[in-house]
């Protein structure tokens, strides 16, 4: 029986609802902290993931009349996008010739894959990216069913859209081409036609980013930043030192049990070419994961399979084609348990370091700016006082080496701009007193150019930076 559309709609809605209910009230790492702050403050575009902030801002505008807490809206974007993605993956499976049972089995395995579930319940770009990836898989399935130039163009447009959501989308053509070519009769098409398809796909992939660039989005800058980030990370990745740990964390644990169960496909003759071919994009993503995470291993080197997310669909597709339903149910149960463990471990026990009311009173406004030590120090405060701008000190210093003059010049611009807006500025005691103890150059500079005043309200202490009287 052909899988009905109603199955896709219901499974997508059910998955989104489960993810929304299961979402913990946390900001996962520095990126989530940054995204939350930028979305709250109305920043238009992130320096690397061009469309993510506009999507978050749109979600906030749509839900504003409902009075929902901003964090729930922003984190909910991941759940909704993942639910939409699952509905599209169901339809992709239907286009590939799946039976109703196989299509349902697929949308049972994918959402219980730890990497998919993890990002579906968090405020993170990968949750929304998953929905964009699913659009690409839907287009790939259409191509496999009817290999034509128009279908190739749709694949390119979809991968280009995904690249605007998350920069790693520029790798999607590798996955799409591998899956598509391994699933069709290549000899019937001929070399010339396949080359033409490649050119069409490449042009279509570039079309939406080019249009976004013309519309005012700095896509070229984003792409350059992403490439530079990967290149710089590769140089500092430290050889194969952490390769085994990254393979374990990002693949074996984040995609268990699918990453093992998929090899059941070797028993099915018609699936062997596709199974072998999928190792090509796997190798590409593994290299990227090693390049990006190897140099920060032990700091924030676990990303829960973020860079392998596009492979969830082919893993599930090969698995449902090669194992019985009873095995699928066991795999889904194991995946769900592992997903819960991933989220529960990340959520942990978070203790509020500061009382929001005390912070606002000490600074003098709920719309001021507070410099904190790092994202972890400001996480719960950001959730409880969303109008307060929080900047981790390492963001001020910057990721690349800069001179003291460059740092203070940028800092002066930020402080003066906030003062012109009558928004107070303060450094948390954890930052300011650490600077005094290690290197007092910045505190001395602040004291020379501003009035620096120590304040305390209950357990919260800070150093307010006030304009000098003219």
| Crossing angle of the two packed helices 52-63 and 29-41, in degrees rounded to 10 | 60
Is the peptide bond between 181 and the residue preceding it cis, with omega within 30 degrees of 0?
no
Q: According to the model, what pLDDT value does residue 351 have? A: 66
Q: According to the model, what pLDDT value does residue 73 have? A: 93
d(CA 115, CA 317) in angstroms, rounded, equals 16
Candidates 206, 229, 230, 232; CA nearest to 219 is 206
Render 150-179 in DSSP notation, one character per residue: HHHHHHHHHHHHHHHHSGGGGGHHHHHHHH
Sign of CA dihedral 327, 333, 336, 340: negative
Q: According to the model, what pLDDT value does residue 335 have? A: 96
Query: pLDDT band at 96, cuts 50/70/90?
Result: very high
Rounded average pLDDT over 435-454:
84
Q: Mean pLDDT score of the chain, rounded to an integer?
A: 87
d(CA 365, CA 146) in angstroms, rounded, equals 61
Q: According to the model, what pLDDT value does residue 298 have? A: 47
Within 10 Å of residue 215's Cβ, how many Cβ atoms?
A: 8
Rounded average pLDDT over 76-89:
97
Q: According to the model, what pLDDT value does residue 276 have? A: 97
Q: According to the model, what pLDDT value does residue 299 have? A: 47
Non-local (6+) Cβ contacts of 326 within 8 A are none
Rounded average pLDDT over 259-284:
97
d(CA 74, CA 76) in angstroms, rounded, equals 5
d(CA 275, CA 290) in angstroms, rounded, equals 23
Q: Residue 250 gets which letter from DSSP?
A: I
Q: Return the percentage of the chain with pLDDT > 90, whole number.
A: 54
Sort 344 into a burial class: Cβ within 10 Å, 0-12 / 13-18 / 19+. Answer: exposed
Answer yes or no: is pLDDT of 350 > 80: no
Q: Residue 306 gets which letter from DSSP?
A: G
Answer yes or no: is pLDDT of 157 > 90: yes
d(CA 401, CA 217) in angstroms, rounded, equals 27
Query: pLDDT band at 220, cuts 50/70/90?
Result: low
Query: pLDDT band at 386, cuts 50/70/90?
Result: confident
Candidates 315, 374, 346, 295; CA nearest to 30 is 374
Q: According to the model, what pLDDT value does residue 318 have? A: 98
CA atoms within 13 A on the CB side of 466: 14
Q: Which of 165-169, 255-259, 332-336, 410-414 has the lowest mean pLDDT?
A: 410-414
């Amino acid at each position: 029986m052909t899988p009905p559309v109603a199955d896709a709609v219901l499974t997508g809605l059910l998955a989104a609802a489960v993810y929304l209910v299961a979402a913990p009230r946390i900001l996962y790492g520095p990126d989530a902290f940054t995204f939350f702050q930028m979305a709250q403050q109305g920043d238009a575009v992130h320096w690397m993931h061009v469309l993510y902030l506009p999507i978050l801002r749109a979600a906030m505008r749509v839900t504003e009349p409902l009075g929902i807490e901003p964090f729930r809206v922003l984190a909910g974007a991941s759940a909704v996008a993942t639910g939409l993605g699952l509905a599209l993956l169901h339809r992709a499976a239907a286009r590939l010739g799946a039976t109703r049972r196989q299509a349902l089995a697929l949308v049972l395995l994918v959402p219980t894959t730890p990497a998919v579930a993890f990002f579906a319940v968090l405020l993170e770009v990968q949750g929304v990216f998953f929905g964009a990836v699913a659009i690409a898989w839907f287009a790939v399935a259409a191509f496999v069913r009817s290999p034509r130039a128009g279908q190739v163009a749709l694949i390119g447009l979809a991968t280009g859209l995904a690249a605007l959501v998350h920069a790693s989308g520029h790798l999607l053509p590798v996955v799409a081409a591998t899956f598509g070519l391994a699933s069709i009769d290549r000899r019937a098409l001929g070399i010339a036609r396949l080359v033409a398809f490649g050119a069409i796909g490449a042009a279509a992939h570039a079309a939406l980013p080019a249009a976004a660039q013309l519309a005012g989005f700095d896509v070229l800058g984003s792409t350059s930043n992403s490439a530079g980030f990967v290149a710089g990370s590769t140089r500092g990745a430290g050889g194969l030192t952490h390769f085994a740990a990254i393979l374990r964390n990002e693949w074996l644990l984040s995609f268990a049990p699918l990453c093992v169960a998929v090899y059941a496909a070797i028993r099915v003759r018609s699936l062997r070419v596709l199974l072998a071919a999928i190792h090509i994009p796997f190798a590409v993503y593994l290299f990227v994961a090693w390049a990006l995470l190897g140099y920060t291993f032990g700091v924030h080197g676990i990303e829960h399979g973020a860079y392998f997310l596009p492979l969830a669909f082919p893993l599930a597709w090969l698995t449902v084609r090669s194992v019985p339903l009873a095995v699928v149910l066991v795999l889904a149960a194991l995946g769900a348990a592992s997903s819960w463990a991933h989220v529960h471990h990340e959520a942990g026990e978070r203790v509020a370091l500061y009382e929001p009311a005390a912070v606002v009173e000490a600074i003098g406004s709920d719309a001021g700016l507070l410099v904190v030590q790092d994202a972890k120090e400001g996480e719960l405060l950001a959730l409880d006082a969303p109008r307060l701008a929080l900047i981790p000190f390492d963001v001020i210093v910057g990721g690349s080496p800069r001179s003291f003059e460059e740092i203070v010049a940028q800092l002066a611009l930020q402080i003066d701009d906030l003062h012109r807006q009558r928004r107070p500025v303060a450094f948390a005691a954890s930052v300011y007193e650490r600077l005094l103890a290690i290197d007092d150059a910045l505190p001395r500079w602040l004291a020379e150019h501003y009035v620096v005043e120590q304040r305390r309200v209950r357990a919260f202490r800070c150093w307010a930076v006030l304009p000098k009287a003219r």
